[in-house]
């Protein structure tokens, strides 16, 4: 007797399992916080540090996640790898969304008569927040996890709140946004990881003790 296999449902289950442990949120939060701290220091080496840190994150972030999953996740759930997306399509979609968000922000500032360099830097947190909305919505569409719309709402709300502040240095709003968002992401990931480890003990921990 044959059974109909819903490939979309299987893919969604794979994504739900892959992002269940919160490791991604911890790594992204750590990345954002360090970038925010570097911007707040306003050093001549800030650009070099952020560039080097971004390169390390892009090329070695996935390895770090995989290493953490081998130690914490796979022994509990087995290895689950979602179907990889087409890199060209994914990258094109990311840049298109970033450009659209930037254009929307620029048009809004222009209509309000505030399209100046100072105002652009001040409201860049809102642009970053809109980019996070796109990323969160994409993850929600692939995994169905309800926390991603919550992330999107928090990213957008904090972008508006921090963008409305008039801080002294031009990079202060961006730095504050990255530090706050990164801290929230890392905390959310830590909570998810703690819940995951508690609800999914290793088979060795579940096995009865033969000595008793």
Convert the pLDDT of each residue in 50-65 to its tens digit.
Answer: 888 888 888 888 899 8
**pLDDT per residue over 114-162, tens digit each?**
889 999 999 999 999 999 999 999 888 888 888 999 999 999 999 999 9
Residue 134 CA to residue 112 CA, distance in Å, equals 25
**2 is a domain residue:** no
Residue 140 CA to residue 152 CA, distance in Å, equals 10
**CA 144 from chain center: how many Å?**
16
| Average pLDDT over the chain, rounded to an integer | 86
- Domains held by the chain: number: 1
pLDDT for res 209: 52
**24 is a domain residue:** yes
**1 is a domain residue:** no
pLDDT for res 7: 61
**210 is a domain residue:** no
pTM for the full predicted model? 0.84
Is residue 203 predicted with pLDDT exceeding 80?
no
- Count other C-beta atoms under 10 Å from residue 109's C-beta: 17
Q: Report which DSSP code applies to 21.
A: S
What's the rounded mean pLDDT across residues 159-172?
92
Q: Torsion over CA of 170, 175, 180 and 181, rounded to 10 degrees? A: 100
**11 is a domain residue:** yes
Spatial neighbors of 23 by CB under 8 A, at least 6 apart, are 65, 68, 69, 72, 73, 189, 193
**148 is a domain residue:** yes
**209 is a domain residue:** no
Is residue 78 predicted with pLDDT exceeding 90?
no
**208 is a domain residue:** no
Q: How would you class 75 by CB atoms within 10 Å of its CB: exposed for 0-12, middle for 13-18, buried for 19 or more? A: middle
Confidence of residue 2 (pLDDT cuts 50, 70, 90): very low
Residue 51 CA to residue 57 CA, distance in Å, equals 10
Q: What domain range is 167 assigned to?
A: 7-199
């Amino acid at each position: 007797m044959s059974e109909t296999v819903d490939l979309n449902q299987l893919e969604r289950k794979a994504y739900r399992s892959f992002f269940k442990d919160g490791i991604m949120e911890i790594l992204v939060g750590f990345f954002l916080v360090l970038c925010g701290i570097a911007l707040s220091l306003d050093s001549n080496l800030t650009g070099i540090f952020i560039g080097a840190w971004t390169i390390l994150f892009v090329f070695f972030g996935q390895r770090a996640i995989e290493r953490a999953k081998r130690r914490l996740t796979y022994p509990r759930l087995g290895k689950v790898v979602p179907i990889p997306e087409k890199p060209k399509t994914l990258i094109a979609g990311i840049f298109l969304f970033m450009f659209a968000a930037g254009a929307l922000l620029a048009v809004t500032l222009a209509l309000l008569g505030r399209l100046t360099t100072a105002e652009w830097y001040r409201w860049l947190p809102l642009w970053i927040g809109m980019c996070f909305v796109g990323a969160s919505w994409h993850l929600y569409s692939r995994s169905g996890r309800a926390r991603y719309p919550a992330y999107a709402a928090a990213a957008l709300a904090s972008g508006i709140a921090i963008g409305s502040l008039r801080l002294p240095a031009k990079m202060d709003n961006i730095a504050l946004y990255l530090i706050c968002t990164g801290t929230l992401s890392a905390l959310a990931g830590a909570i998810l990881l703690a819940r995951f480890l508690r609800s999914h003990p290793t088979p060795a921990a579940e096995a009865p003790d033969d000595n008793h």
